[in-house]
Structure 1
Amino acid sequence: MDTEINISALAERTHDLLADLRHAAPRPLLITGGSASERNALANALCVLFGSQPVIVGMQLAMILGELDHKPRVQDVLDAIDLIVASAGPNPVLTRIEGLFSPAVPLNAVDALVRMSRQNPICAVWPGRVDYNRLRYAQLGHPECVNEDASRAVIIDLTKENGGLK
């Protein structure tokens, strides 16, 4: 990457964008690109602005679904997602969302994030990449593969100047 990322300035712009999303169609804001440490630094900076803690989705989802006495069904996952978001407060910043990609979770990860954003605008660290306006995670043929239309989310791409924000 040619330019150094100004995390605090980008966090301020992202904060403002999340406020704007409260009045728009529900779409999650996804932090992509850059290194994992850069994505997490932006997530942590947002948490400081919001006065909150990051929500570790995979761990919470595993704990909730692990208490079931049956294989998770779509409604179980939807209920778990609603519980995670409700407990996260008004400005959830989601990290470690890889649990949403598990073949044991019978729900598309992007659908889950869109659903979460219906209650409150959310920001999530996307562990994959964006290529040709597609959200990608894992290789084609892999059980955790995601290849979804990126227009279903607002993208902050740390490989672009100003995170790709105009």
Structure 2
Amino acid sequence: MLVRLEKLTCEISDLNSKLILLVGPSRSGKTQLLRKLGAKFNIEPFNVGLELGRRLAATPNNKRGFSAGELLREIADKERTEDPLLLDNLELLFEPGLQINPLDLVRRLAHSKRVVAVWPGELRGDRLVYADMSHPEHRDYSRDGAVVFEI
């Protein structure tokens, strides 16, 4: 599985959107696979919840949505452009108070560089779903603009 993901990560450079989403049930090894990929490329996966949470804590509530996108871009720009950006723990981006589209934010990062991200929800048919419909953080997106790597 790691070999397939590594090959896909190298091949995706030529696509318009260079986004790979690791999708699978909870506890299926997505984070572990991302870490192994990071070891292959000699880069550390980025814990979005931890890093972004720390930075957003000092940001006024009404500016957090805009700041989340800016901070993620800053982080992506710090990485060497030839290296893929490895993202884990995206749950914070689904916070309703941020009023952002998490998938769109990650897709935009993937226009300029390869991004491999652990999707915190599931794939239902051709839809990427986060949380149950009754949950305030529920989201449902088309998988367009992303390569889904199922685990």
The count of residues paired between Structure 1 and Structure 2 equals 149
Which 10-residue stretch deviates more, 66-75 or 102-111? 66-75
- Which whole-Å deviations, capped at 9, do the CAs of 1:99-139 have from their partners, x for residues lacking one? 11111222111101101212311101111100010000101
Go from structure 1 to structure 2 and tell me whether the alpha carbon gap of 1:144 and 1:70 turns closer, same or farther (over 3 Å shift): closer
SS of the residue 2:14 aligns to: coil
Q: 1:103 is matched with which residue: 70, 75, 96? A: 96
Give RMSD over aligned pairs: 1.7
Secondary structure of the 2:54 match is helix
**1:40-63 deviation line (CA, Å, top 9, x unaligned):** 221111011110111001111112
Q: Per-residue CA shift, 1:62-112, capped at 9, x if unaligned?
A: 122222235225432221110121234422211111111111222111101
Gaps of 5+ in 2: none
Say if 2:76 is the partner of 1:76.
Answer: no
Q: Distance in 1 between matches of 2:94 and 2:64?
A: 15
Given the two structures, how large is their TM-score scaled by the length of structure 1? Answer: 0.81
CA distance in 2, matches of 1:82, 1:72: 16
Aligned partners of 1:55 and 1:88 also within 8 Å: no
- Structure 1 residue 60 and structure 2 residue 51: aligned? yes
- Counterparts of 2:6 and 2:22 in 1: how far apart (Å)? 12
- The answer to whether the aligner puts 1:142 opposite 2:135 as a matched pair is yes
- 2:5 corresponds to: 14
Partner Cα distance (2:69, 2:35) in 1: 26
The CA deviation at 1:141 is 3.5
Post-superposition, which runs of at least 4 consecutive aligned residues in structure 1 deviate over 4 A?
none
Name which structure has the greater RCO, CA cutoff 8 Å, separation 6+.
2
Supply the distance in 2 between the matched residues of 1:81 and 1:121 (Cα, whole angstroms). 14
